[in-house]
């Protein structure tokens, strides 16, 4: 069955050589979204890039789930701070232009 915008979790696991339980663990930790359709687990395409980063951290650097959670929490925090800095720079530039 082809589902638009979703990738089968089993297909992803087979292709990347990861355990099916790894996907469940990431979902249970709140790191990725998954969908269940007709008792099959799917991963939204929007989650694919993030999930592939997690797989690389796990396989290549042997980082466990707790480590991956910490890394992604810090990455999210960095992105938030970068957005805030950009907004503040824009405000300062507006005031300097006047």
Tell me, yes or no, whether 1 lies in a domain. Answer: no
pLDDT per residue as tens digits for the range 33-79: 999 999 999 999 999 999 999 999 999 999 999 999 999 999 999 99
Global confidence as pTM: 0.80
DSSP letter string, 35-87: EEETTEEEEEGGGHHHHHHHHHHHHHS---HHHHHHHHHHHHHHHHHHHHHHH
Please report whether residue 79 resides in a domain.
Answer: yes
Judge whether 37 lies within some domain.
Answer: yes
Query: CATH no. for residue 18?
Result: 1.10.1660.10
Which pLDDT value is given to residue 41? 95
pLDDT tens per residue, range 37-50: 999 999 999 999 99
- Domain membership of residue 85 as a residue range: 6-97
Q: Is residue 68 part of a domain?
A: yes
Does some domain include residue 34? Answer: yes
In-domain check, residue 83:
yes
Q: How many domains does the chain fold into?
A: 1
């Amino acid at each position: 069955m082809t589902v638009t915008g979703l990738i089968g979790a089993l297909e992803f696991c087979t292709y990347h050589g990861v355990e099916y339980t790894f996907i469940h663990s990431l979902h249970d930790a709140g790191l990725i979204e998954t969908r269940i359709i007709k008792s099959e687990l799917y991963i939204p395409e929007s989650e694919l890039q993030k999930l592939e980063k997690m797989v690389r951290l796990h396989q290549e650097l042997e980082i466990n789930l707790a480590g991956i959670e910490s890394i992604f929490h810090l990455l999210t925090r960095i992105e938030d701070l970068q957005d805030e800095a950009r907004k503040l720079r824009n405000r300062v530039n507006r005031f300097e232009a006047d």
